[in-house]
Structure 1
Amino acid sequence: MPVIQVSLIRGYSTELKQRLCAHLTDAVRRSIAADPEGVTVLLHEVEPDAYMRGGRPRMPGKAATAEIPGTVPEEVVRGFLDAMEVRDLSRAESWLDAGFSMVFPGGVEMTRLDELVAWAAERYRCVSKRIDVLETCDEGERITVVCHGELRGEWLDGTPFAGVRFIDRFELRHGRIARQQVWNDLALARC
């Protein structure tokens, strides 16, 4: 079974190293039909003063964290969805790439969040998402995050709804959301 060895400059958190090992295991499994228990990842750490590149000492690069916008795709999506749920449009827009577009059921396409809010105001009073799963796939510069779960909220007449299935597919470019596609069963829940 595959054994992957990685050398890192000492200084990264345990959480980052565990995330790196999980992503490396997933990368191998996308290429080789390997049981995850058969994939071994070994991280070797070197002291910063024991590493040089180009004849100069180097320090560890910054870790991808939620504090550095755009570095953790799942956090970008969660940050955007959280801001949209409370209708903080300026915060939600901070997660968007230039040329952002979104497509909703029925082929409704929009490019501005205020368009979405106006469109939704004709359908329901409020809506929130319970996310069951976030799945990420990266292909170089393009990262896709798919989340699914259930919607709950209130119709215009105040009647509550819950348990409505949804799937959102996000395409990220340079750590920002470039496109959102939405599928849900709201039309069926209205019946």
Structure 2
Amino acid sequence: LMETSNTTFKLFKLPRDKPIKREGNIMSRKPKMGKGVIVGENVEFGGNVVVWNYVVIGDGAKIGDGTVIGSFCDIGKNVVIGKNCNVQAHVTISNGCIVGDNVFIAPNTSLLNDRYPKSELLTPPTIKNNAIIGGGATILPGVTIGEEAIVAGGSVVTKDVKRKTVVLGVPARVVMTLKEYEAKREAFIKVRQLR
């Protein structure tokens, strides 16, 4: 038993071969959990979820089918992560954030929810379906990242990002459309294949 502030977490090993309901947590078939995973109360896991080592998942979180959570992530209370997401190592997703389906979040990214810490008014960001968040990006409170949008690594996103746009910088600004990005990516891949 481990206590941090007002939250009590229980560290336990999970069976890997059948559906279970344990200590108020609901887990679909065959969740795969690494070492040192701490799961809060009333957490729901979809099927085929993988949670790597030393991850903390807060009370009431919901993680969709086929999602992978990398090592050393901190998933806050009441976070919702959709289906088939890839949340890589050292990602912080603050309380109440919503992440859509098929979202990729690269390492060392932070989704923040408190505009004026420590306030009672939390405004968690929302990441829509099929978005890509580059490594080391920071998504500030209240921001919505649109469907199929791309946030370049190291960016600090201070305002909403429209769907199918690519943003870059501090603060992040639109640098191209998704169509332009895909054309550049294809050209890059062709050059690499010629080598």
Return the TM-score normalized by structure 2.
0.25
Which structure features the higher share of strand residues?
1
Higher helix share goes to which structure?
1
TM-score normalised by length of structure 1: 0.25
Higher relative contact order (CA 8 A, sep 6+): 1
